[in-house]
Amino acid sequence: MKPIARNSVSLAVAAAILSSTALVPSVALAVPAGGYADLVEQVSPSVVFIEVTGTATPVDYSQALPEGMPDELRRRFEELVPKGGEQGPRSGLGSGFIISNDGQIVTNHHVIDGAQRVSVTLSDGREMDATVIGSDPLTDIALLQIEAEADLPFIDFGSSAQMRAGDEVFAVGNPFGLGGTVTSGIVSATSRNINSGPFDDFIQTDAAINRGNSGGPLFNDAGQVVGVNTAIYSPDGGSVGIGFAVPSDLVQTIVADLEDDGTVTRGWLGVQIRPMTEEVASVLGYDAPRGAVVEAVMPDSPAAKAGLVNGDIILSFDGTDIEELRDLTRAVAETAPDADSQMTVLHKGSEKTYEVTIGTLDAEEA
């Protein structure tokens, strides 16, 4: 799994609810009678195991010697250890799942990032090379393509928006390279923000997620993918019951963009922002901090052309209220470049409406 400081993110899955009795509205049984065996048998052929090999990197061992090392000792060490050379090729394991009969596969960006070769092993043991169609670091989603002689089994997306805390889910993946492994649990939380980027909106689950599960699917009780396992919180690298998955509704949007031209195009405003403090909120008469305070406006940016200045507070963007910083960054990023948008801004104590033409976010800034 991808470590994120003390936030490692991984996966969870969600499912449904209780049984029914006479005179009580009927609801679906959360766990199928007898467990998930039938569903697992149905979806497992579409879950793949991914192995990546990266390029070897040059190494100069002399750079690792401590400063202030006596010259004679340094000379002797350098005689014994080569000054140049290569560290062996980087390798790694992950999971993924087939989303079309012609071999499109979804996995994590961090699984294939920097890979020179991507190898996919199907559940029936067939191994084949995969081509990276494109990947998106901001959402940690990548799209691969494999070529097979016949149609491949694939799985469908479900709606992550319908998942609730307490719904039951199960995950299939390749933890520690062991091969097909199934774990189950519940949705611990939805819309979880772990401060890893503007698109933090994770499903949190207590289904066991470990290294190698990255990119694997999180299923609801209908066998639909509701999330892509991405990271785990773990002090020691193993599962402690706190995993995160990218919601399927977002994944489908990213996959559609990647399928089109291998990239994801996002809008750009050109400001640096910070949260409003409690003190400022109190002075302004707000019950709680809201909006995004403009710290800096980049020269010749859409924000500068619209007239924003340092100290302005952006309260809404195209009808989206800005309650926290990610609301603005996400709203802007999801706006098509060259689109005309409106912002409600608190400028020197008065609310004003600003018109802005959104720019294009450079790949380096993404």
Task: Specify whether 347 is catalytic.
Answer: no
Residue indicated by tokens 């609810």: 17
Please provide the size of the chain in residues. 366
Task: Specify whether 20 is catalytic.
Answer: no
Spatial contact of 30 and 16, defined as CB atoms under 8 Å apart: yes
Rounded to a whole number of angstroms, the CA Rg of the chain reads 24
Please pick, among 188, 214, 239, 316, the residue that the annotation labels catalytic: 214
Please pick, among 10, 135, 140, 188, the residue that the annotation labels catalytic: 140
Q: Kindly report the number of other CB atoms within 10 A of residue 105's CB atom.
A: 27
117 contacts: CB under 8 Å, gap ≥ 6: 52, 53, 129
| Complete DSSP assignment for 165-190 | TT-EEEEEE-GGG--SEEEEEEEEEE
Among residues 107, 222, 115, 119, the alpha carbon closest in space to that of 162 is found at 222
Name the β-bridge partners of 87: 57
Angle at 259 between CA 255 and CA 262, to 5 degrees: 100
Whole-angstrom distance, CA of residue 181 vs CA of residue 175: 7
Element (DSSP H or E) covering residue 249: helix 248-261
Task: Specify whether 110 is catalytic.
Answer: yes
Please pick, among 8, 109, 110, 239, the residue that the annotation labels catalytic: 110
Spatial contact of 302 and 270, defined as CB atoms under 8 Å apart: yes
* DSSP for residue 349: T
Spatial contact of 65 and 73, defined as CB atoms under 8 Å apart: no
Buried b / exposed e over 37-66, threshold 16 CB at 10 Å, is eebbeebebbbbbbbbebeeeeeeeeeeee
Catalytic residues: 110, 140, 214
